[in-house]
Amino acid sequence: MKETERIADQLKRAFYGEAWSGPAVMEVLEAVTAEVAAKRPVPDVHSIWELVNHITAWVNIVRRRVEREIFKVSDTENFPPVSDTSASAWNDSLKQLQEAERALRETILRLPEARLDEPAVPGGSSVYNQLHGAVQHSLYHAAQIVLLKKV
């Protein structure tokens, strides 16, 4: 198996199950309603919905960097705001999350192995680091969502 295939597998596990660390992103979001996702049960802590938008943003940011796009991440891009708290908007956010993961996984599988050691963008960390960071970051926030669901 090629290293890019291993990384793509880790990303898929982080989102859909069999992650070594525990529940995957989509597993922790099962049965979360728009109402629950929008709640802020702990003051000064992001809601589940904001975390979902943040995970989506960073999966897309990593993909764009791996594709050699150079840009600065704005605060709004880092944590996209939630303005519509309807059930359909929540479903759209979940679909965007899944689409971001799928697009990054496809990008990974198209990558030449030699690209893994190169900087994602000039002066930045390696493509390898960026890709593993996307997996780790997603699981980190999945754990936060688990905690928020318990509050």
What the chain holds in terms of domains, given with CATH numbers, is 3-150 (1.20.120.450)
Residues in a beta bridge with 126: 119
In angstroms, the CA 127 to CA 66 distance is 6
Q: Residue 147, SS3?
A: helix
In contact, 54 and 46? CB cutoff 8 Å? yes
Q: Residue 126, SS3?
A: strand
pTM, two decimals, is 0.96
Q: The dihedral of CA 8, 14, 17, 19: what is its sign?
A: positive
Single out the residue of 13, 6, 12 nearest to residue 128, CA to CA. 6
As given in the structure block, the two tokens for residue 17 are 């199950």
Residue for token pair 């996307």: 134
**Taking the chain, what is the end-to-end CA distance rounded to the nearest angstrom?**
42
From first to last of its 151 residues, the chain has per-residue pLDDT tens of 999 999 999 999 999 999 888 899 999 999 999 999 999 999 999 999 999 999 999 999 999 999 999 999 999 999 999 999 999 999 999 999 999 999 999 999 999 999 999 999 999 999 999 999 999 999 999 999 999 999 8
